[in-house]
Structure 1
Amino acid sequence: MYFQWYPGHMTKAKRMMQENIKLVDLVIELVDARIPVSSRNPEIDKLGKNKARLILLNKSDLAEDKWNDSWAEYFKKRDYSVVKVNSKKGGGIKSIQGVIQEACREKTERDRKRGILNRPVRAMVVGIPNVGKSTFINALAGKACTKTGNKPGVTKGKQWIRLNKNVELLDTPGILWPKFEDQTVGLRLAFIGSIKEEILNVEELSMELIGFLKEFYPGILKGKYQIEEMEDNFLCLKEIAKSRHCLIKGSELDTEKAARLLLDDFRNGRLGKITLEFPYNYE
């Protein structure tokens, strides 16, 4: 499979970020805890070079705990502040205000020396599509102040949100990079739902996921679908279709329906906690 997706509004989003980066003290970057490197946009490092940085490992409830801890260490070693969060259920949200203040302490002290008191920290929230930015902002603000959706590209324009007298957030549309140098990155993004499904072959995608699960999480498919984990990934998919009664015209197996079901089960944590990439590959 070849992955490519960079609609026009993303070019606009990047330009908006470039224009607004000078207004902020801190860049808060949401990544998906299941793929913390593949769900980062390399452009964001360039744009936020001289700013305080906070990485939020979002959807950490869907990834394996031991790998969440390893990833947190990985980023801390590289001078990022890190918090593990689960925006939907509110996990980790309470600690963020304190972490924001700590990440911007130098800036606050510089302000104090210059006689500038009580100026709120201004933070830009960035991340690729569908990584949960709007849900995070709503959870942090305690009210629905941005549109949310589980489709890539719901946030269309920029908006400032005042959290309290200490923090103001700038929400930005999600941006993917123009070209995936490494197609494995595209594959992982497709697994978690950050690439529009209309341009994907879901059966091929699900067979790739089956291959990964058999290698790194053996037994998980057998436990969930009561199937044998055969060598041939398409045969595995057919077994899932059989087990879940995905049929067309009476008795013909509907492998596309089974593929969607598998991807949906993975994305919503019904297969258990699964991490798709590991820090030891990036040391």
Structure 2
Amino acid sequence: MTIQWFPGHMAKARREVSEKLKFVDMVFELVDARLPLSSRNPMLDQIIQQKPRLILLNKVDLADEYQTKQWIAYFKQQGFYALAINSKENSSVKLIMATAKKVLAEKRQRDQERGIQPRAIRAMVIGIPNVGKSTLMNRLIGKKIAQTGNKPGVTKGQQWLRVANELELLDTPGILWPKFEDELIGKKLALTGAIKDQLLHLDDIALYGIDFFVRHYPTRLAKRYKLAEEMEQLPAAELLMEITKKLGFRDDYERASERILLDIRQERLGRFTLDRVDEFEDDNDGLD
């Protein structure tokens, strides 16, 4: 499976984010709670560098609860603040605001000692496509969308969106895709629907999904498709054939693949997390 990566677009996005970083106090880095590392762009570490950061694990309602707790602990060990959120819920706004204040507590204390009065936190939201950036920004802003006026040094055309009196979001940074050097990352993103199905071989993604659920959630797979207990001994390709028959699709593996992907994305096999902390730790991979 090959997924195209466009260097020109990446360079433009990188330049745009780098230019806007100097106008904000911190960055909200939005990732998918089902794949907290695979939905990150590793290039962000080079761009953001020492800028204060809050990692937001979005779509937590779709992720495995135990694994989410593991990831929050993992990011904490790495020295980052991290929150599990559902950008569709208002309660997430309060959590984000409270944690953002913690992230900037030391800086604000230093400013106060220098006689600088506290002001609204200025932030930008960064995330790859389909992690819920627009939904989160709309939730943060609500119906009260207002331009807060010109800021010194802010280039023409940039807009500040005010959230109550506590937060100002700089709209809109470039959206970054990850570089798909690892085929597995592409499959994970595809399974969650982050990549258009037209760009993929659906049976490849379905096979990956089957193999993943056999390894981590076998009971759910067996129950959904009425599979025998010994299914764990079968390779994913044979299981796809068996599921195709159970669905009544004869030899239409493409149709069966579409159904499996739909079932996974619509939670008919339950909540799941594709990135597992123990696997990344075993590989010595993760945040640089």
136-145 or 93-102: which moved more?
A: 136-145
- 1:217 CA drift (Å): 1.4
1:12 equivalent to 2:12? Answer yes
Q: How many angstroms apart in 1 are the aligned matches of 2:197 and 2:20?
A: 31
Tell me if the contact between 1:138 and 1:144 (Cα under 8 Å) persists in the aligned partners.
no
Tell me if the contact between 1:129 and 1:173 (Cα under 8 Å) persists in the aligned partners.
no
> Per-residue displacement from partner, 1:77-116 (whole Å, max 9, x unpaired)?
1121111111134453321111111111122223323333
SS of 1:168's equivalent in the other structure is: strand
Give the structure 1 partner of residue 149 of structure 2.
none
1:265 equivalent to 2:263? Answer yes
SS of 1:135's equivalent in the other structure is: helix
Give the structure 2 partner of residue 189 of structure 1.
189
Q: How many angstroms apart in 2 are the aligned matches of 1:238 and 1:18?
A: 49
Give the root-mean-square deviation of aligned CA atoms. 2.3
Give the structure 1 partner of residue 274 of structure 2.
276
Structure 2 CA distance for partners of 1:144 and 1:3, relative to 1, 3 Å:
farther
Structure 2 CA distance for partners of 1:158 and 1:209, relative to 1, 3 Å:
farther
SS of 1:160's equivalent in the other structure is: strand
Q: How many angstroms apart in 2 are the aligned matches of 1:125 and 1:23?
A: 13
Tell me if the contact between 1:31 and 1:131 (Cα under 8 Å) persists in the aligned partners.
yes
SS of 1:35's equivalent in the other structure is: coil
Give the structure 2 partner of residue 233 of structure 1.
236
Structure 2 CA distance for partners of 1:143 and 1:221, relative to 1, 3 Å:
farther
1:45 equivalent to 2:45? Answer yes
Give the structure 2 partner of residue 175 of structure 1.
176
Q: How many angstroms apart in 2 are the aligned matches of 1:122 and 1:256?
A: 48
The answer for unaligned runs of 5 or more in structure 2 is 146-156, 282-288
Q: How many angstroms apart in 2 are the aligned matches of 1:13 and 1:281?
A: 31
Q: How many angstroms apart in 1 are the aligned matches of 2:25 and 2:47?
A: 12
The answer for unaligned runs of 5 or more in structure 1 is 146-156, 247-251
- 1:270 CA drift (Å): 2.2
TM-score by length of 2: 0.83
> Per-residue displacement from partner, 1:55-98 (whole Å, max 9, x unpaired)?
11111111111111110010011121111111134453321111
- 1:161 CA drift (Å): 1.9
Tell me if the contact between 1:57 and 1:85 (Cα under 8 Å) persists in the aligned partners.
yes
Q: Percent identity?
A: 42
Tell me if the contact between 2:34 and 2:273 (Cα under 8 Å) persists in the aligned partners.
yes
Structure 1 runs of 4+ off > 6 angstroms?
none
Count of matched residue positions in the alignment of Structure 1 and Structure 2: 266
> Per-residue displacement from partner, 1:40-61 (whole Å, max 9, x unpaired)?
1111111111211101111111
